[in-house]
Amino acid sequence: MVLSLHLGVRQNSPAEVWAALFGGGDDTASLVIATLRVPRTLIAPVVGAGLGLAGLLLQSVSRNPLASPDLLGINAGAALAVVIAVAVFDVAGLLPLAAIAALGALGTTALVFALALAAGGAMSSVNTLLAGVTLAGFFAAGTQIVLVVDETAMETLIFWLSGGFVDRSLSLLWLAAPVTALAFLIALINARALDVLAADDQSAAALGVPVGALRALMLGLAALLAAAAVTTAGPVSFVGLVAPHIARRLAGAGHAVLVPLSAIIGAALAIYADIAARFVIHPSEAPVGAVLAFVGVPVLVILLQAGTLRQVRA
């Protein structure tokens, strides 16, 4: 986070950063640091933490190592809902858009698992993943159609749809932070139950875990986390996939550690991707979503080559 305040198109010394944060220094440095860098430095880790936690919850309750808000189409569903609201119905304002994104994310989550159930088992990893990827493609196509039809909406939303933290208002933090904190606490309280549920339903039920209710709660939390992230930063990809896998490599399978560690790693990935985005096409700025894709795609390939795909069974 300290690096994020110092680095950008214009580099600033520690003295300049300190002065800008406390109302001193020259006007240009104050504008760049206090107005532009501080909001993104605070928003990026909150969004990253939420996505890392969302990915962990999805992977745990579905027992699918490739489950994440982007691969299951949850981000795309939330984004399409927001695009339709803005382009077709002229909806504006943070809370209405957040509510619409939440409805889109929750609806997509329910639809993914309903389609998987119709295909032969709600917790079938292959069916769930295929349903999610199919819906993600469908929603992405719908988003493109809406933007092509409404050029004004395209100009307004095209950079937001690529995912990123630039030019984001600090008021967005008041949406993302409470949702992330509440989901974190609920997941941590249920860490032991998640440990059992991640193994199999029979063992969880035998130990008194309300399997259906817990699964529905965790899927709902994952959807709300994705909705908060999409509303705040656009559909940021791969954080939800990569962060839980790194956490498992470092700490094993216990959710009492995985929950905070996935959030921390997700936050770190988001903020370092945000810093990298400032230099990839210097002096312009690349979308954070594009930077994360460059990191996430190789990681996905490595996971598949390492045998993760063998864990995805019909």
According to the model, what pLDDT value does residue 6 have? Answer: 58
243-245-249-252 Cα dihedral, nearest 10 degrees: 100
Q: How confident is the model at residue 47 (pLDDT cuts 50, 70, 90)?
A: very high
According to the model, what pLDDT value does residue 282 have? Answer: 75
- The count of C-alpha atoms lying within 13 angstroms of the C-alpha of 129, restricted to the half-sphere facing its C-beta, is 16
Between CA 179 and CA 41 the distance in angstroms is: 18
- Tell me: the pLDDT tens digits for 60-111? 999 888 899 999 999 999 999 999 999 999 998 889 999 999 999 999 999 9
* Percent of the chain scoring above 70 in pLDDT: 85
pLDDT of residue 14 exceeding 70: no
Domains of the chain with CATH codes? 42-308 (1.10.3470.10)
Average pLDDT over residues 102-128: 86
pLDDT of residue 312 exceeding 60: no
pLDDT of residue 34 exceeding 80: no
pLDDT of residue 214 exceeding 90: yes
Q: Are 260 and 188 in contact (CB under 8 A)?
A: yes
Q: How confident is the model at residue 154 (pLDDT cuts 50, 70, 90)?
A: confident
Average pLDDT over residues 223-250: 94
According to the model, what pLDDT value does residue 4 have? Answer: 64
3-state SS, one letter per residue, for 50-99: HHHHHHHHHHHHHCCCCCCCCCCCHHHHHHHHHHHHHHCCCCCCHHHHHH
Q: What is the greatest pairwise CA distance in the chain?
A: 65
pLDDT of residue 308 exceeding 80: no
pLDDT of residue 311 exceeding 80: no
According to the model, what pLDDT value does residue 153 have? Answer: 83
- What's the whole-model pTM score? 0.92
According to the model, what pLDDT value does residue 131 have? Answer: 93
pLDDT of residue 286 exceeding 90: no
Average pLDDT over residues 54-63: 95
Helix (H) or strand (E) holding 272, with range, is helix 255-277
Between CA 119 and CA 249 the distance in angstroms is: 32
pLDDT of residue 1 exceeding 70: no
Q: How confident is the model at residue 226 (pLDDT cuts 50, 70, 90)?
A: very high
pLDDT of residue 122 exceeding 60: no
According to the model, what pLDDT value does residue 314 have? Answer: 46
Q: Tokens for 42?
A: 């605070």
